[in-house]
Structures are given as C-alpha cells and as structure tokens.
Amino acid sequence: MNKKIQLQDLGSKDYKSTWEYQEELFKDIVDLKIKNRREELELETPNYLLFVEHPHVYTLGKSGDLENLLLNEKQLEAKGATFYKINRGGDITYHGPGQIVGYPILDLENFFTDIHKYLRFLEEAIILTLEEYGLKCGRSEGETGVWLDVGTPFARKICALGVRASRWVTMHGFALNVNVDLGYFDNIIPCGIRGKGVTSLQVELGVEKVDEDEVKSKIVKHLTELFEAEFVK
C-alpha cells in the first residue's frame, strides 16, 4: 500500500482546467487498478492532494437543484462568474479568491475502504485546523461540511464538502472559506440549505487577512496524522 500523497499547489487556476486535470489523475489511478486486477500485478497506485484557488465559479452537484442558483446567465456574466454542472455529490456551492480548495485524489485502498470514514476524516482535518485558531467547530447531522454554532439559530457553514468515488478512488473535495468575499454566497442557496449562514475564518477572527499558506500547512499536518500518510512534493 502506498501511503505517500503528492502535494501540488496549483495557485489560482480556472475551474474547468482544474476539473479536467483531476479527471486525468483520477482516470490514471483507476486504469492502473484495472490493469493490476486483469494482469495480476501489484503496481503501486499514486495519491494526490491538489490545493487551488478558483476565480468566481458556482458548481452544482449531480443531485443538486438548479433553482438553488439565483442568477441567470447575464447576471453571472456581470459578476464575472462561471457555472458548471459537475459529477460530485452535494448541491450547489461557490468557489472564489480567498478560499482554500482541496482536491484529494486518493486510492482509498491504500488507506481504508470506507467512504463515510473518508468524509469524516476530511471534516476532522478542517475542524482540528480551525481549533488551532481558537474556533469551536463541528458537524451538523445530515449535512456534510464544517459548521459553527451547530443547533442554534446562528449556525453557519465555514467549509463545504463534495466528493466523487469510483473503485475506491476519490476526487473533488473540500472548500474552506478563509479570506473569501461572502457576498457571492448571496447568489445561491448554499448546498440547498435555507436559513443557515455562511462564514469565513477572516470574519470569525475579525482580522484583515489570514495567512492562507499557514492554513494549508495546518490542514496537511492534520491529514498526515488522520490518514497516517506522508506528504511529498
């Protein structure tokens, strides 16, 4: 089992080309697994974690409702945003500058074969990271992602999750609001959930700007511990 995860920080990259790159890595791993099975080989499958920041974009998961996007095509254009229907789980979400997006493309057979455990580990890595900033976060029953003030009228989401998996290979991932312009969330019903707010690390800490590289390093540290993995560049 290969427990090394190749860490790639793509910087700022548009959603479509990043999605295509994810699909390419995903397909290579799946194809290698099929080859191993057919030819009775034991070639190691690689694992990746992509960090990226996207220009303004709204994405709708395969089970999502288009009505949760509150903008038409012209309004999207006026806001400098794009829109894509994609093949992850979940409903609609927003990505944009100041948000840390992480795409783990892992062969879970290198770690464990449990999608629920995988999702909980991604959430836990974010929860532990935010705890380092003094924030008490948690999960909201029946709703993926990481929340503050769960079970109160002030519940607000700080990190969204949406993944796809096939043959135990994962893609898509998490989006943590760090220094993001929260106004862009007003144009959707985030994740199809009404009546709950969205927040960011910057807002919660009441600071001008949070060091995003520092946040990424903390996320990697906690993923390393949870997955018992080694990150390599």
Q: Is 223 within any annotated ligand binding site?
A: no
Catalytic residues: 191
Q: Is 161 within any annotated ligand binding site?
A: yes
- Tokens read off for 84: 């894509």
- Tokens read off for 139: 């999960």
Q: Is 56 within any annotated ligand binding site?
A: no
Q: Is 26 within any annotated ligand binding site?
A: no
Q: Is 34 within any annotated ligand binding site?
A: no
Q: Is 58 within any annotated ligand binding site?
A: no
Q: Is 138 within any annotated ligand binding site?
A: no
Q: Is 84 within any annotated ligand binding site?
A: no
Backbone angles phi, psi at 38, to 5 degrees: -65, -40
Q: Is 173 within any annotated ligand binding site?
A: yes
Q: Which residues are annotated as a binding site?
A: 88-95, 160-162, 173-175
Q: Which residues are annotated as a binding site for substrate?
A: 88-95, 160-162, 173-175
